[in-house]
Structure 1
């Protein structure tokens, strides 16, 4: 088999996986965390945060599966990862 065709097939497969993941997150139930929100988390799929070059509070998003296997998205606030090591 031609190596170029093999590389193209691998790239195509990787792009399809990324597209399916983005579609699943777009169709997931979204909620914003508030104090006392009941969290039903079986497995965390991803955690991302808004870009911010400085230390401070930023928006973050956690995509997870609940106990029924349904994809959920939780928006919340957190201290930026840029703060690690700052006093």
Structure 2
């Protein structure tokens, strides 16, 4: 199930806008937990996933359907695992 969550959150990467800057104050970081209801209207940025083979913290900044900005921290599998 964690892999599914990571895939869903990674899927939002295609919606991310690179290089966007803003003078808006950054919101407090919210922790993602299984079952957290997310209202994501627009992804603003995603953190880079390191090239390691372990679970690492990642963040996503997004706007909800009301235009409020949120920063969400979640766990993701690093990109360094290979299947040789």
TM-score normalised by length of structure 2: 0.64
Moved over 2 A (4+): none
Please name the residue that 1:54 is paired with. 52
Extract unaligned runs of 5+ from structure 1: 1-16
CA distance in 1, matches of 2:45, 2:26: 15
Greater per-residue helix proportion: 1
Extract unaligned runs of 5+ from structure 2: 1-19
CA distance in 1, matches of 2:34, 2:53: 23
Structure with larger Rg: 1
More relative contact order in 1 or in 2 (CA 8 Å, sep 6+)?
A: 2
Alignment of 1:6-85 (within 5 A): 18=21, 20=22, 23-24=23-24, 27-49=26-48, 52-83=50-81
Count of aligned residue pairs for this structure pair: 64
- Give the superposed CA RMSD: 2.0
